Amino acid sequence: MSGPQFHQVTHPDFEGVDFDRLQVVLAVMAQKGGVGKTTLATNLAGLAATRGDRVLLVDLDPQGNVRDELGLYDHEHNDAGEALREAILAGESIEQLALEVRPRLDVAIGGINTRAISDVLVREKNDEMLAQLAEAGYEVPAPEAGEWRRIVYDLPEEIDFSPAYHGRLALALDRTLAAAETAGDPYGLVVIDSPPNEREIQLNIMGAARWVVSPTMPDFGSIRAVTEIIDMAAATEDGAHQVDMLGVVLSGVTDHTRNIKRTAIDAIEAATRSQTFKAQVPGRPGEYEEVPLVLGPTVRWSTATAQLARSKGKLVYEVADEHEQRQPWYEQVRAGAKSAGPVASGAVGMAADIMDVATEIFHRMPSYAFDKADYMEEADV
Ligand SMILES: Nc1ncnc2c1ncn2[C@@H]1O[C@H](COP(=O)(O)OP(=O)(O)OP(=O)(O)O)[C@@H](O)[C@H]1O
Ligand SMILES: [Mg+2]
């Protein structure tokens, strides 16, 4: 025997996970920062909840922006993700720590404390590697000696030492969904907000999600980064676990920049290697068609809306609703008001864009048929 044989093995965390149950898990992921992940994740979750589905929104970005977006920073339950971290590392249900922040919308609050999830998992992975080496007959020095790295580097090339990705989140979410089912109030959708460039966490999210949607800005840097997410999803498939790219959402475009939009969509086509998605044909149950990965609807840029939304802890369609219901400024002045308060006239347009994007995303999830008409009355944008 020329040397020890290592194989990429399914991580033990996956044992017992019911991947059928995880069909409702949608992750919003991008390798680039600031491309609209959190905005998309929170608004998708919020919109789905307005239809009456019970929705769980999980913030796995240590920046904790979901909490900020929903106005929860000062909430007494804001533990910056500590409880979430502990539950995930233990592979336990997170249902009991989720906070209902809107009717039917539960949020697992994240923040800086979730950063240690990666640290712990990396350490576990190192321990696992050392154990494998020891089992294969290598003399493994104590980690303090700092020598084990050299041993790893000296291993023959044909040995695949790429570690199995972790299924801890899959386990925790499976148990969460099972607990909600048992309690008689199942989740219809789980949305995960994710950090840019945090490999351990991202692999865990990919290990738990059935669907991945990736937002991008029109610049080539963010568009090229979409390829990395696609490759990561492909590399994460493992036996019973299947994860598919569901779509790419172009954000940050306006009607005035049609050429930019065309160029960006062509670049996304290239970055996705013209990958298609098998989508249901609208109005024809059971029939499918191949559609481009990039979604038809895009999200326009409205700085005023985004700022107003975050400063008020409101979702974009909530800001739009308020905008439509507010008294015209001249009436306010007549009534004696000194200032009409902040305005975001772009909110209605941006909310309409996000709704179109949401409709298309939900339509692409076979387990989650969604019709825009279902929530038009309530959101009324
Ligand atoms: N369509 C938009 N128009 C204007 N501003 C937007 C839009 N979408 C998001 N923003 C703003 O841009 C910033 C980045 O958006 P967001 O937080 O959603 O991106 P992200 O990809 O989650 O970022 P990060 O990688 O830091 O988590 C935020 O301040 C947000 O309010
Ligand atoms: Mg974010």
pLDDT single digits (tens) 309-318? 999 999 999 9
Lowest average pLDDT, out of 79-88, 111-120, 134-143, 369-378, goes to 369-378
Question: From the CB of 361, is ligand 1 less than 6 Å away?
Answer: no
Region 263-271: mean pLDDT is: 94
Residue 197 in this model has a pLDDT that exceeds 70? yes
pTM score, whole prediction: 0.89
Confidence (pLDDT) at 341: 61
Confidence (pLDDT) at 324: 80
Give the Å distance between the CA of 111 and the centre of ligand 2. Answer: 11
Confidence (pLDDT) at 6: 43
What is each CA distance from 231 to 31, 111, 198, 276, in whole angstroms? 11, 27, 15, 15
Residue 144 in this model has a pLDDT that exceeds 80? no
Give the Å distance between the CA of 34 and the centre of ligand 1. Answer: 5
Total residue count of the chain as it appears in this document = 381
Confidence (pLDDT) at 256: 64
Amino acid at 214: S
Question: From the CB of 156, is ligand 1 less than 6 Å away?
Answer: no
What is each CA distance from 202 to 16, 68, 233, 336, in whole angstroms? 21, 21, 10, 53
Confidence (pLDDT) at 378: 44
Region 168-173: mean pLDDT is: 94
Confidence (pLDDT) at 66: 97
The tokens 């502990």 sit on which residue? 86
Atom number of ligand 1 nearest to Cα 33: 25
d(CA 69, CA 43): 10
Confidence (pLDDT) at 65: 96
Region 266-284: mean pLDDT is: 90
Residue 233 in this model has a pLDDT that exceeds 50? yes
Region 129-158: mean pLDDT is: 67
d(CA 191, CA 39): 12
Taking a C-beta distance cutoff of 8 angstroms, is the pair 302, 353 a contact? no
Band of pLDDT at residue 63, cut at 50, 70 and 90: very high
Supply 200's token pair: 């351990």
Residue whose CA is at the smallest distance from ligand 1 atom 15 = 36
Give the Å distance between the CA of 36 and the centre of ligand 1. Answer: 4
Q: Counting ligands in written order, which one lies closest to the CA of residue 303?
A: 1
Confidence (pLDDT) at 156: 56
Residue 227 in this model has a pLDDT that exceeds 80? yes
Name the CATH superfamily, with its identifier, for domain 12-115+167-301: P-loop containing nucleotide triphosphate hydrolases (3.40.50.300)
Confidence (pLDDT) at 69: 92
Amino acid at 269: E
Q: Which residue has the higher pLDDT, 285 or 319?
A: 319
d(CA 218, CA 264): 5
Give the Å distance between the CA of 300 and the centre of ligand 1. Answer: 12
Taking a C-beta distance cutoff of 8 angstroms, is the pair 121, 163 a contact? no
pLDDT over 90 percentage in the chain: 60
Region 131-146: mean pLDDT is: 72
Residue whose CA is at the smallest distance from ligand 1 atom 16 = 36
What is each CA distance from 319 to 203, 305, 373, in whole angstroms? 34, 7, 20
pLDDT, tens digit (0-9, with 9 covering 90-100), for 331-369: 766 777 666 566 677 899 999 999 999 999 999 997 765
Residue 381 in this model has a pLDDT that exceeds 50? no
Supply 192's token pair: 């995960």
The top-scoring range by mean pLDDT among 157-161, 243-247, 253-257 is 243-247
Q: How high is the mean pLDDT of the chain?
A: 85
Helices (H), 136-196: 148-154, 168-182
According to DSSP, the β-strands at 99-102 and 105-108 are antiparallel
Q: Which residue has the higher pLDDT, 309 or 370?
A: 309
DSSP state of 356: H
Give the Å distance between the CA of 310 and the centre of ligand 1. Answer: 10
Q: Which residue has the higher pLDDT, 178 or 286?
A: 178
Band of pLDDT at residue 278, cut at 50, 70 and 90: very high
Angle between helices 347-364 and 303-312 (to 10 degrees): 80
Angle between helices 303-312 and 316-325 (to 10 degrees): 100
pLDDT, tens digit (0-9, with 9 covering 90-100), for 83-128: 999 999 999 999 999 999 999 999 999 999 999 998 888 888 777 7
d(CA 357, CA 160): 40
Atom number of ligand 1 nearest to Cα 30: 21
CA distance between the termini of the chain = 69
